[in-house]
Structure 1
Amino acid sequence: MMRAIVTGYSSGIGQAIAKILEENSYEVIRLNSRLNDKKALEKEVKQELKKAEIDLLINCAGVGVFKPHEEISLDKIQELIDVNLTAPIVLTNLCLRSLKKTKGHIINISSIEATRHSKFSALYTATKAGLRNFSLALFEELRRSDVRVTNINPDLTKTNFFEEFNFEPSNNKNAHLNPDNIAKQVLEIVQFDGVITDITLRPQRLEIKKK
């Protein structure tokens, strides 16, 4: 059985990915450590790797904030950097020797905001663009080791990600993505005979609604 670590598994895109992997004979490892607690994370990952190597690492956990930069608290700034950027880099570091042994796959869930420059998204964009560029550079580093690296940039997706914001995706089914379809795309990427290094997933329409 193939083994996968998936972050952000409790809801949204991460939950859908964990579910589809389990339906396709993966053992999904759900880490309990907080992503900003590097020592606890290191201890838990090392314990898992003592049991068996891993074949797949999916960094899906993410948080956002969209407001004037001077209105964002310093704690919130640190949280976004920790969860969106530092945690995937740290987890990759901890898992990479194992992934080299299994010739495994790293998939980072970034954002459409990593590819553009939107008002009130400077902090979020910085973290997601950092993750995207980490992925693309890491692919070049790992090509000879046969470890595949994929970065995915989803556009508006109907999840609880928008609970704390003053906007959310439109109810028009053509104006947002859904987690299950993104999970299906992840499975196709894993099964693809080659490497999809960077892919952007978008709905046909652009519609949001104010709360």
Structure 2
Amino acid sequence: MKKVAVVTGASRGIGLAIAKKLLRMDFIVYGICRHPEKCQELYEDFHLIKGDLSDPNSIPKILNLLTEKDRISLLIHSAGIAYFAPVEELSPEKIVEMVQVHLTSPMILTSSLTRILKKNEGRIVFIGSISGDQISPWGNVYGSVKAGIHQYARLLFDELRKYSVKVHLVIPDITKTDFYNHLSIEPDQDPKSYLLPDQIAYVVEHLILDQSGFVVPEIVVRPEIFKIKRKKFKL
């Protein structure tokens, strides 16, 4: 019988790359995303569920759509949203949205599925960000909520290990996705200066398949060199 995985943010970027990797590993994947209709990747065992994690009240409805909920053995938190600006220019709505997507909803979703993950001796993977560990100009709120989910993952590791539930925190550096579409910076053209979603999915795959007898609770993934460029805006 195939194992069941839940992946947030599964319609694009890192979440989609992880979902496709899990499908090749013979998982049934339930992907939670805002706009499943925009995803062109269609597979027999890939079930996209429409859900807005900026509204934690939607989580019970999302859970009801997981028709094989009792078989879930893997939960991957990859959904994200980012707004970078001086603190006085961030609207209350954008601040709340980042807190809900990166902190509140992952905590509620994890809490809702923990009993099942304990029963199945499952695994939880959090996709963090280097912004949660380092100073990020104009990334005050985004870096803070990422730091929060990093700490949550670390505390959860110690709480759940006694129940044979493995918790991993994957912290990527600059990754070439549409994350930068609305920012004033973007990855440099040098391919050594950024990561690709498939590379993060590769790391997740190895964490899941590892049978060494020990657990890697946290791993930082960085490009070979550091380069970033500012976008040129037309006047």
Counterpart of 1:114 (choices 99, 118, 132) is 132
1:50 positional shift:
5.8
Give yes or no for contact 1:49–1:98 (8 Å, CA) kept in 2.
Answer: no
1:43 positional shift:
2.8
Q: Give TM-score, length-normalised by structure 2.
A: 0.86
Are 1:181 and 2:199 counterparts? yes
1:171 positional shift:
1.3
Equivalenced residue count is 211
Unaligned runs of 5+ in 2: 33-49
Which amino acid in 2 is paired with 1:104?
G
SS in 1 for 2:72: coil
Q: RMSD over aligned Cα, in angstroms?
A: 1.3
The residue aligned with 1:145 is 163
Distance 1:38 1:116 in 2: 28
The residue aligned with 1:14 is 15
Give yes or no for contact 1:77–1:123 (8 Å, CA) kept in 2.
Answer: yes
Give yes or no for contact 1:85–1:130 (8 Å, CA) kept in 2.
Answer: yes
**Closer/same/farther in 2, CA of residues 44 and 118 from structure 1, 3 Å limit:** closer
Unaligned runs of 5+ in 1: none
Which amino acid in 1 is paired with 2:24?
E
Q: Per-residue CA shift, 1:121-155, capped at 9, x if unaligned?
A: 11011100000000000111111101010111100
Relative contact order higher in (CA < 8 Å, ≥ 6 apart): 1
Identity of aligned residues (%): 38
Which amino acid in 2 is paired with 1:106?
I
Give yes or no for contact 2:4–2:68 (8 Å, CA) kept in 1.
Answer: no
Distance 2:147 2:173 in 1: 14
Which amino acid in 1 is paired with 2:23?
E
Distance 2:79 2:27 in 1: 19
The residue aligned with 1:205 is 225
Distance 1:77 1:38 in 2: 15
Distance 2:158 2:82 in 1: 28
Q: Per-residue CA shift, 1:91-149, capped at 9, x if unaligned?
A: 10111010001000000001011111222111011100000000000111111101010
**Closer/same/farther in 2, CA of residues 185 and 50 from structure 1, 3 Å limit:** closer
SS in 1 for 2:52: coil
Which shifted more, 8-17 or 41-50? 41-50
Q: Give TM-score, length-normalised by structure 1.
A: 0.96
Give yes or no for contact 1:58–1:108 (8 Å, CA) kept in 2.
Answer: yes
The residue aligned with 2:73 is 55
